[in-house]
């Protein structure tokens, strides 16, 4: 996931979401790597963090070419976000607000009705937030 400031993002993901860095950081200025990521003349640094049992979060800062801010909306094809399960969404929401993290809106409980067909997810609480680069993330709490 490209970020504008690798050190800041590594710290933010650890402090705010509890995703500890693995200690593995790489740098690459290599035509083969550039070909893999389809970025000509790529120069980058990356840090890895294990989020749960099977998600490796890769934070990448491109030093070249100069990256542009991402402006995709949630409804735009190709826009993605990561979603993390939490035990207590209300407590997570309070913590985020206290830390000054941008939260899109208060948590919402998915319920059938009023334009929502929640089905098997009825009772699930969701919350969207943004990291320091404006990358959208989601937290959710399944019903007990």
**Architecture of domain 82-141 in CATH?**
Roll (3.10)
**Start and end residues for every CATH 3.10.180.10 domain found in the chain:** 82-141
Q: Collapsing DSSP states into helix, strand and coil, what is residue 12?
A: helix
Q: Does residue 125 contact residue 89 with C-beta atoms inside 8 Å?
A: yes
Cα separation, 97 vs 88, in Å, equals: 15
Q: What is the dihedral of CA 97, 57, 70, 35, to 10 degrees?
A: 170
CA angle 33, 70, 125 (to 5 degrees): 110
Chunk the chain into consecutive blocks of 10 residues (it has 144) and report each block's average pLDDT, rounded to whole numbers.
96 94 89 91 92 87 91 86 94 98 96 85 95 95 93
Q: How high is the pLDDT of residue 72?
A: 82
Q: What is the pTM for the complete model shown?
A: 0.89
* pLDDT for the residue 114: 77
Encoding tokens for residue 44?
A: 């980058």
The dihedral built from the CA positions of residue 114, 118, 123 and 129, taken in this order, carries a sign that is negative
């Amino acid at each position: 996931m490209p970020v504008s400031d690798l050190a800041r993002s590594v710290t933010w993901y650890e402090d705010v979401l509890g995703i500890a860095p693995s200690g593995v950081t790489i740098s690459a200025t290599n035509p083969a790597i550039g070909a893999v990521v389809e970025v000509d003349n790529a120069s980058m640094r990356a840090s890895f963090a294990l989020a749960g049992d099977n998600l490796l979060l890769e934070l990448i800062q491109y030093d070249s070419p100069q990256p542009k801010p991402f402006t995709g909306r949630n409804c735009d094809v190709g826009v993605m976000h990561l979603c993390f399960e939490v035990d207590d969404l209300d407590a997570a929401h309070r913590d985020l607000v206290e830390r000054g993290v941008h939260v899109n809106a208060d948590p919402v409980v998915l319920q059938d009705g009023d334009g929502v067909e929640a089905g098997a997810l009825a009772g699930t609480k969701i919350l969207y937030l943004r990291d320091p680069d404006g990358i959208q993330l989601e937290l959710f709490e399944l019903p007990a």
